[in-house]
Homo-oligomer: A and B are copies of this chain.
Amino acid sequence: MSSPSESAAPGDAVYDLAPECTTEDVEVGRRYAATVNGVVEYGVFVDLSTTVSGLVHESNLDGEYEVGDEMTVRLIEARENGDLGFESADATGETVRVEYEPDITPANDLRNHVGEEVTVDGEVVQINQTGGPTVFTLRAPAGSVACAAFEAAGVRAYPAVELGDAVRVSGTVEKRDGGLQIEVESLDPHDDPDDLHEAVEEGLAERAAANDVDPMVEWPALADLVSDLEGVATRLRRAVLENRPIRIRHHADGDGMCASIPVALALSRFAEEVHDDPDAGRHLVKRLPSKAPYYEMEDVTRDLNFALGDRERHGQKLPLVVMLDNGSTEEDVPAYEALAEYDIPVLVVDHHHPDPEAVEDLLAAHVNPYLHGEDYRITTGMLCVELARMIDPSLTEELAHVPAVAGLTDRSEADAMNDYLALAQEKGYDENDLQAVGDALDYAAHWLRYSAGESLLADVLDVGTGGDSPHGELVEFLAERAEHDTEKQLDAAMPHVEERDLDNGAHLYRLDVERHAHRFTYPAPGKTTGAIHDAKVEETGDPVITVGYGPDFAVLRSDGVRLDIPRMVEELEDEVDGGVSGGGHLVVGSIKFVKGMREDVLDALETKMGEAEIDEELGSATVAGFED
């Protein structure tokens, strides 16, 4: 909309129109500076701007004029046919210059102006010199706009314009490779850059805001986490809007997949919509399963090196890092410190027991049920389905079965599990189906060996497939293979499981998984140990501890004995010169040590286990991340 640059009551000022001004810039009753451009019998014709002119009828004319004379007129009539009628006016008082203010087309309205000439305002956020035109990407209050300016093939147009400049661009909207761009006619510094920057920032914040969605199930425990998740969703959406790459590092197990696949999908869809580019998701969002249950120095140096290379080679921004089902513990600190050297923000959504003092200062956001007095029963998959919906609410139906899969793979005993199962049931999944999806996910992820496996896992989880997926048969096949391979592994292992009765009356089952299980195959040592444990719990009905150990590690599972593994690890570190480290919970954990001290560690461990308190309530929940 055009308007005088200063508002004034009619008659208050004489308005002096800029040459580009149109009839939209005049108002009946106001005075204007005019130039005579014709003298006729019945009056004089006057120009107010290049296109605004009209008649001062002799009856309204106070004096004689020649062509070229300047005079002051008042607009007294604006007919439907566009004719304007003026009268002579006095020139007293203030003169106000009226700059031409073109209609600014909002960036998200360009699709309605294809082929038309428009004007947009924005900050220059990218300058890409192609072999043909120079493409300036503007961030406008309502979105981004690509503006192609052609000087000569491969020659930088508007060389004075720099990143961050506030500019006004006029040109024609065109379709290009499926997206829209403005073929630039003019690109000028903006008159009021501060205003524009502020408007852009406000627009960005508005567009970045998380969608307000009701959680899929009513669950007070989850409700406490919603505003944390909204903060993460807003940051992620904003990263997409700002064209900042997002690297999702996640735990490579079932819950980690149920968490990361939906979030990656939501972000990709949002990126494709925002940037009007079907490849934007692929370019901006990377999902990377982590080998270890924490962010290893190897991973972070690699991530950093890629990010710096992309910045150098393609002018990309440094990324935002998101840790899913991972990232809450002290072991992640060195990696976070490395990222901090480059001011790369880290967001964490996790349900593992956190070390808040260790990580909090290093994180831009940390969502974790333990921070709200809840625990791992709210799985990361459950949280991230909500997060994905806050990013792209249209995914709700597609993701309805995912929290149940996440809960089953992590054996969540959450109260809400029944509601989640009911939701999945509505999509036709019974509990066996969901368990099979979880098993298939785990099995396929194992063989994909930490490659992201987007396309295959999408089919397994039935999320983001575009409907062209043999989901059901595929899940059945993979779940059966998983079961088959597990049985084969147990056939080899079971005869070699040693049993001991501990002083506290619990059974201890131990297996050298390096010697009595197939290596480099499915299931891996942690899962093998879990399967043995489950079988022994069922077989005996008594308190049971199972230890699967290799040359330099041991995996622990307990039902009915309160192990408190972190404390055990701490004690072992002191008592045995074996480079002991590790982590876990009351009933699930893993320990690392140097090869040469294995017997000492295992013996000391057995003693401690025999002294641990029996608590038959304690269940065998698998907490992701301590079993591989």
A residues in contact (CB < 8 Å) with B: 129, 131, 152-155, 174-178, 282, 297-298, 300-302, 304-305, 308-309, 311-313, 334, 337-338, 341-342, 444, 447-449, 451, 453-456, 458-459, 466, 470, 473-474, 477-478, 481, 488-489, 491-493, 495-496, 512, 514-519, 522, 552, 577-579, 592, 594-597
Contact = CB atoms under 8 A, between A and B. Distances in A.
Contacts of A308: 455-456, 458-459
B455 A312 contact: yes
Nearest to A176: B154
A518 to B, nearest CB: 6
A577 B496 contact: yes
B594 A515 contact: yes
B175 A152 contact: yes
B131 A177 contact: yes
A2 to B, nearest CB: 31
A468 B108 CA distance: 35
Contacts of A488: 579
A492 B456 contact: no
Contacts of A522: 297
A361 to B, nearest CB: 15
B178 A129 contact: yes
Contacts of A304: 455-456
Contacts of A519: 552, 595
Contacts of A342: 470
11 contacts: A131-B176, A131-B177, A154-B177, A304-B456, A305-B453, A341-B474, A493-B594, A512-B596, A514-B596, A515-B595, A518-B552
A448 B579 CA distance: 24
Copies in the complex: 3
A512 B481 CA distance: 33
Contacts of A338: 477-478
A301 B451 CA distance: 10
Contacts of A305: 448, 451, 453-456
A85 B596 CA distance: 105
A518 B594 contact: yes
Nearest to A481: B334
Nearest to A334: B481
Contacts of A175: 152-155
A481 B337 CA distance: 10
Contacts of A473: 341
Contacts of A312: 455, 466
A596 B175 CA distance: 67
B515 A596 contact: yes
B178 A516 contact: no
A594 B153 contact: no
A170 to B, nearest CB: 20
A113 to B, nearest CB: 15
Contacts of A517: 579, 594
Contact of A301 (B302, B334, B448): B448
A278 to B, nearest CB: 10
Given A334-B481, A518-B579, A302 B448 contact: yes
Nearest 7 pairs between A and B by C-beta?
A: A492-B579, A515-B596, A308-B455, A495-B577, A301-B447, A305-B456, A154-B177
Contacts of A301: 444, 447-448, 453, 456
Contacts of A470: 341-342
Given A304-B456, A515-B596, 5 more contacts: A153-B176, A301-B453, A308-B459, A489-B579, A495-B577
